[in-house]
Chains A and B, each alone.
Chain A
Amino acid sequence: MNENPLWVTILKRTAVVVSMIIAFFPIYWLIATSFKPYDQWASWPPVWLTDAPTLQNYRIVFFPEAAREFATAQQGSLDYKVSGSAWKAFQDSAIISTFATFFSVMFGTLAAYSIVRFRTGGENYPFQFLTVRMMPPIAVVVPIVALFSILRLSDTYFGLVLAYTAFTLPFSIWMIRSFIEEVPLELEGAAMVHGMSQFRAFLTITLPLIKGGVLATALFIFILNWSEFLFALVLTAGNVITVTLQVANYVSASSGKLYGVQAAMGTISTLPVILFGYVIQRHLVRGLTFGAIKR
């Protein structure tokens, strides 16, 4: 029973509302700016809600002609990089994230199964994968650049897929491991009594039971890949471009960032991630703690 006096309850709800506003405000500003015309991007006083909403920023994001028109309209002095339209970035990010997610989850599932059911490599073996998540990626970026230069992987899809697969493996192994551990071994044992090999038993009995968890893991890892910035920044040189790079690209040397365009790109690039995030909300805690805390 609620033993709080009314004013305490009101105070608590107010605090919740304030938190909600703080949580939402930067996102609101991003979205609001994406609809602002050029002269309101950084005017003083700032425009909180534009009175002249425009889709121009989104047009610039997707259509190079619109970008060129825009540049000419601003006396042609804007030397910002309009390295193609955002379509290329979306396409590249989709390809890289999908393949990296697929490999990470597949390799992760096999390894997790081996670790859970055969105790492969002993008790400390899974920690080897965790250390990868603990080291700052920038620390291995320099040698990876060196290595990729001799392997001719720099600025290729495969190079980024490889890097993303490796750096999300700790999540897929540990998350899927926690799902497999929840399936009793007896279920597989029962199938094996009927002459099935253990791996077949895993494929036909256990895997269907944890497919929801594997799917959640996949979405979670897709989010990580889609949002990744550092590797994309360092391992590409214009041939491959991801959405995060594209967002950072709308900068002009003479007049700084193109707020409206950047906000438009930011808004649409983050939408799929938010959607996926809410789909797997139930599993977020498990994912981000490597399966240590379950719901």
Chain B
Amino acid sequence: MTTQGVDGPHPSQEQGWSRYLPRFNILLVLPAQLTMMVVVVVPTLIILWLAITDWQPTQAIAWFKAEPIWFWNFYDLWYDSRFTNAVLRTLFVVAVCVSIELGLALGLALLFLDEWPWRRVAVSVIILPMMIIPVDAANAFFMLFNERGPINHLVSLVIGSPYEFSWLSHPTWAMAPIMLAEIWQWTPLMFLLVLTGLMNLPQNQVRAAIVLGASPARIFFKIMLPLLLPVISIALLIRSIETFKIFDPVYILTRGQPGGATETISMFMYNGAFVYFRMGYIAAAALLVLVVVISICLVLARPMTRHG
């Protein structure tokens, strides 16, 4: 870490004993940096080791004494359809959830452009989902999509005969409640971001477009959307990253069941490490994910600085 280009006084240079301490500004970041070292950097190094072993805590061998099996974990992962499916499923969830969230948020935010009496109350109610604990939200959706839950009841009322579909144990449809829970909980965040962006839009550009005779659709697509682009890209970036990590609703709603049909990357790794206790194997998967995620993020993080 460099300290060049630092100006400003350094009290440590003047006092005798403190000459031996790191420079003042380094001292200030030290607590944060050390925490990161213990919880992130050292574990990442441990992953490098675990990924080439077949360590399983059930074997009563300390992890640092485990037998290396070199690159067989990666070979196995490549041919493990449960892993590759989990990766593809996660990407699918990210793509679908985030784009639905954005679409809903844009539509919703446009409803809030003008002033009306109970507007603030409406905003407060609409952002309620993002305020609650994700585990509780998942529980609520567990009840909603129960065979005997209100969703099936509503369907029954519409089709006129009892409908007791087991959403959560259906190989294809079990994903739907999970994704709906995610969308329900996080559309409000996207909505809040887009609304903030819309409120901060240069009003006169919109007015100028109105006076020039543009239709509302034209104003939205030609003037407002381009102006919103920085906000939208930040929102998409943040939501994509968060959705990629999706775990709580999966754990609460299905734990990856039935038969791994709802396993996302996080759920796959949890099951592998803490249900089947294949720590070495999962460390290899974790290493792959870390490498991919961090390299993607280093590229994507650039827009954040530009509009920061």
**Chain A interface residues (CB < 8 Å from chain B):** 2, 12-13, 15-16, 19-20, 22-24, 26-27, 29-30, 33, 42-46, 48, 103, 106-108, 110-111, 113-115, 117-122, 125, 127-147, 149-150, 162-163, 165-167, 169, 173, 178, 192, 197-199, 226-227, 229-230, 233-234, 243-244, 247-248, 257, 259, 262-263, 266-267, 269-270, 273-274, 277-278, 281, 284-285, 288-293, 295
Contact = CB atoms under 8 A, between A and B. Distances in A.
Contacts of B77: none
A266 B140 contact: yes
The 5 closest A-B pairs by CB, nearest first: A166-B39, A143-B46, A118-B25, A277-B131, A143-B43
Interface of B: 1-6, 8-9, 11, 24-26, 28-29, 31-33, 35-36, 38-40, 42-47, 50, 62-64, 107-108, 111-112, 114, 116, 122, 124-137, 139-144, 146, 148-150, 153, 156, 162, 164, 184, 188-189, 192-193, 196-197, 231, 234-235, 238, 241, 244-245, 247-248, 251-252, 265-266, 269-270, 273-274, 279, 282-283, 286-287, 289-290, 293-294, 297-298, 301, 304, 307-308
Given A107-B35, A166-B38, A167-B39, A270 B304 contact: no
B39 A293 contact: no
B144 A269 contact: no
25 contacts: A16-B111, A23-B128, A23-B184, A30-B139, A46-B153, A48-B150, A110-B31, A111-B33, A114-B26, A120-B3, A120-B6, A120-B28, A125-B1, A128-B36, A130-B297, A130-B304, A133-B241, A134-B293, A135-B294, A138-B265, A140-B44, A169-B32, A169-B36, A248-B252, A278-B131
Contact of B43 (A16, A30, A147): A147
A281 B245 CA distance: 24
A22 B238 CA distance: 24
Nearest to B1: A121
Contact of A142 (B26, B125, B235, B273): B273
Given A20-B122, A143-B50, A229 B274 contact: no
B140 A129 contact: no
Contacts of A127: 298, 301
Contact of B279 (A146, A165, A199, A295): A146
Nearest to B142: A257
A26 to B, nearest CB: 4
Given A20-B126, A132-B40, A166-B35, A118 B8 contact: yes
A247 B135 contact: yes
B245 A136 contact: yes
Contacts, number: 307
Contacts of A284: 127, 130, 189, 192
Contacts of B231: 293
Given A45-B153, A120-B29, A138 B286 contact: yes
A44 B164 contact: yes
Contacts of B252: 248
